[in-house]
């Protein structure tokens, strides 16, 4: 895996380390940019973690435990001592649940929506009243696996009327999208139809995998409703 970087990460006590994850770094860069912008707007000192590597979530779910352990041990050492924030539901679950499951001490981590909801509650983050309807999809790794339901809904309710999907999964996680692309797309199509049945102005989620999956479903069907990450919706109207 190579040597850990020798520099000190986030030397300030109040600083957050942002772990973007592969998807926000490579596939949906706008989530990366919006996350940093909104965290800074909330008055939070944030630095991007340097030298990070893939959290290994997909490897763990596909059963490659040897490769997953190497990544887990590397990231755990790199991020130890810092307070980590991530915008990826898969990374969040990997740190909170999967690293401890193989005996690796995880970093202290919160999802972006948790940090922003806390900032909003204490008055550090102003949210625009958009007067719109937002259909929200709860990511599996964030909600059903880790119990984070209230934070994203709180943020969205401050901006508009929120309706939540009755369906569970977007079909992207656990390597399913890569191994079974046609079936994965069908799951996404069903989810998007459920979300759009509420005639929303926006479809929102808190996971870059879900975001990409829903955007592609919208493109296939020719829908014009904008699909966004929660941080994007905030950043675009600050």
Whole-angstrom Cα distance, residue 222 to residue 205? Answer: 20
CA atoms within a 13 Å half-sphere pointing along the CA-CB vector of 41:
19
Tokens of 137: 């999809």
Segments making up each domain of the chain, as ranges: 16-115, 127-236
Task: For the chain, give the mean pLDDT.
Answer: 92
What is 61-121 written as a DSSP string? HHT-HHHHHHHHHHHHHHHTTSEEEES-HHHHHIIIIIHHHTTPPPPEEEEHHHHHHHHHH
Q: What percent of the chain has pLDDT over 70?
A: 94
> How does residue 5 score in pLDDT terms, banded at 50, 70 and 90?
very low
Distance CA 82, CA 26 (A): 24
Residue 176: how many other CB atoms lie within 10 Å: 18
143 near 149, Cβ under 8 Å?
yes
- Domain 127-236 class, CATH top level: mainly alpha
Rg for the chain, CA atoms, rounded: 17
pLDDT in tens, 117-145: 999 999 999 999 999 999 999 999 999 99
Query: What is the four-CA torsion angle of 120, 125, 126, 132, rounded to 10 degrees?
Result: -60
What is the 3-class SS of 174-213, one letter each residue? HHHHHHCHHHHHHHHHHHHHHHHCCCCCEEEECCHHHHHH
Residue 6 has pLDDT above 50, yes or no: no
pLDDT in tens, 146-186: 999 999 999 999 999 999 998 789 998 877 787 888 999 99
pLDDT tens track for 181-221: 899 999 999 999 999 999 999 999 999 999 999 999 999 99
Q: What are the structure tokens assigned to 122, written together?
A: 């204490």
3-state secondary structure of 26: helix
pTM, whole model, 2 decimals?
0.91
| pLDDT of res. 14 | 63
């Amino acid at each position: 895996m190579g040597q850990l970087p020798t520099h000190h990460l986030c030397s300030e006590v109040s600083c957050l380390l942002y772990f973007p994850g592969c998807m926000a770094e490579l596939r949906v860069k706008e989530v990366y940019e919006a996350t940093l912008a909104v965290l800074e707007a909330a008055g939070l000192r944030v630095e991007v973690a340097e030298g990070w590597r893939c959290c290994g979530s997909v490897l763990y779910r596909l059963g490659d435990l040897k490769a997953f352990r190497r990544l887990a041990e590397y990231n755990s050492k790199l991020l130890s001592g810092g307070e980590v924030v991530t915008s990826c539901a898969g990374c969040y679950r990997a740190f909170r649940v999967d690293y401890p499951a193989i005996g690796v001490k995880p970093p202290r981590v919160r999802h972006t929506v948790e940090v922003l909801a806390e900032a909003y509650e204490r008055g550090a983050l102003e949210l625009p009243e958009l007067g719109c309807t937002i259909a929200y999809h709860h990511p599996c790794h964030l909600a059903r696996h880790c119990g984070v339901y209230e934070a994203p809904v709180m943020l969205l309710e401050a901006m508009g009327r929120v309706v939540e999907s009755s369906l569970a999964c977007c079909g992207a996680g656990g390597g399913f999208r890569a191994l079974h692309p046609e079936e994965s797309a069908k799951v996404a199509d069903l989810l998007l139809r459920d979300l759009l049945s509420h005639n929303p102005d926006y479809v929102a989620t808190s996971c870059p995998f879900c975001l990409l999956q829903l955007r592609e479903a919208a493109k296939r069907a020719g829908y014009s409703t904008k699909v966004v990450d929660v941080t994007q919706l905030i950043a675009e109207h600050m």
